[in-house]
Amino acid sequence: MHEMSIALSIVETVVSKALEEGNGRISSIDLLIGKLAGIEPQSLKFCFSAAAKGTSAEEALLFIDEPEGLGECGDCGKRFPVSFYYAECPECRSLRVNIVSGKEFLIQSMTIEEEGE
Ligand SMILES: [Zn+2]
């Protein structure tokens, strides 16, 4: 499953980062997942909780920001919202549309709690 391998790589990234910062527990993770990224947030959350079991990210909450898709026409330069990879320019009907936003996938930030005494 696609989301599972993504979840595993997120866990790996945040756990090694937490280790660098003193091995505290991770309380939250902010993700940016564009609507065109091909990642299902609900499914990712589900996979994440399985992938994070037994790690310092086990109790982390996932906050997912989902930027809308935005296309730019390669012919007339118009920008417009898109919900699929293949879009048609509403202005000139061109199919030379570049996706300029909505494909993002990154870990924006994470919160690590200091380990108690
Ligand atoms: Zn156009």
User: What per-residue confidence (pLDDT) applies to 116?
Assistant: 56
Ion ligand 1 neighbours (CB, 5 A) are: 73, 75-76, 78, 89, 91-92, 94
User: What per-residue confidence (pLDDT) applies to 9?
Assistant: 96
Q: In this predicted structure, which of 4-13, 39-48, 76-85 has the lowest mean pLDDT?
A: 76-85
- The rounded Å distance from CA 95 to ligand 1 centre is 8
Q: What is the pTM of this model?
A: 0.84
Are 52 and 72 within one domain? no
Domain residue limits at 91: 68-101
The mean pLDDT value for 57-75 works out to 96
User: Which residues fall within 8 angstroms of residue 60, CB to CB, at 6 or more apart?
Assistant: 14, 25, 26, 27, 28, 29, 52, 110
Are 31 and 74 within one domain? no
Answer yes or no: is pLDDT of 97 > 50.
yes
Are 42 and 14 within one domain? yes
- The rounded Å distance from CA 38 to ligand 1 centre is 25
Answer yes or no: is pLDDT of 46 > 50.
yes
The count of structural domains within the chain is 2
- The rounded Å distance from CA 89 to ligand 1 centre is 5
Are 28 and 54 within one domain? yes
The mean pLDDT value for 68-83 works out to 95
Residue type, 58: E
